């Protein structure tokens, strides 16, 4: 299970709508394993295929990672789609492995229902709440070329991305 390189903003691959997966095969299963390993290596809680340069509708997430937390589970979903959003929303802090060092509050529904395929290619329907719902929505956004910063007002987005770009330039200059 190799750790893949995470694609960083402003790479154009982060802005492309991803293609659906036709079948869950060994290549897809290996990709899911690589994505999980990459997510854990980067200390993330979710990862979408375009974040490692793969234009496919695949996400992995593990929102609750404490071993003693009964909600702890790694999930990989192929062709995930949000089919239902709950009536309530709340702001919560988000960051992104593809825009390291930048965090902001984003308004999202606190409950979602996701349909897709599991690692065996079987159709699944998953109900998610709270942090898990937030993480999953963030990752599904990636599959449509949407970044969490796109949910911010224009001025906040501009300031944060300028801050990020300056930090990246400083890192390269060292």
Catalytically annotated residue among 139, 158, 165, 167: 139
Would you list the DSSP string of the chain?
A: -PPPPPP-TT-GGGGSPPBPPS---HHHHHHHHHHHHHHHHTT-SEEEGGGGT--BSEEEE-S---TT-TT---EEEEEEEEEEE-S-EEEEEEE-TTSTT-EEEEEEESEEEEEEE-TTS-EEEEEEEHHHHHHHHHHHHHHTT--GGGGS-HHHHHHHHHHHHHHHHHHHH-
Respond yes or no: is residue 158 known to be catalytic.
no
Which residues have a catalytic role annotated?
A: 139
């Amino acid at each position: 299970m190799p750790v893949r390189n995470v694609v960083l903003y402003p790479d154009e691959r982060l802005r492309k709508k991803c293609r659906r997966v036709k079948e869950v095969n060994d290549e897809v299963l290996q990709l899911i394993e690589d994505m999980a390993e990459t997510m854990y290596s980067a200390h993330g809680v979710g990862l979408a295929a375009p974040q490692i340069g793969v234009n496919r509708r695949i996400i992995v997430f593990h929102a609750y990672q404490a071993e003693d937390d009964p909600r702890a589970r790694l999930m990989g979903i192929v062709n995930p789609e949000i089919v239902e959003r709950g009536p309530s929303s709340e702001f919560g802090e988000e960051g992104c492995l593809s825009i390291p060092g930048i965090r902001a509050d984003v308004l999202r529904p606190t409950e979602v229902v996701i349909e897709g395929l599991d690692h065996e290619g079987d159709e699944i329907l998953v109900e998610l709440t709270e942090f898990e719902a937030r993480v999953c929505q963030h990752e599904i956004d990636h599959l449509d070329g949407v970044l969490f910063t796109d949910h911010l007002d224009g001025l906040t987005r501009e300031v944060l991305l300028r801050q990020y770009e300056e930090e990246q330039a400083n890192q390269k200059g060292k």
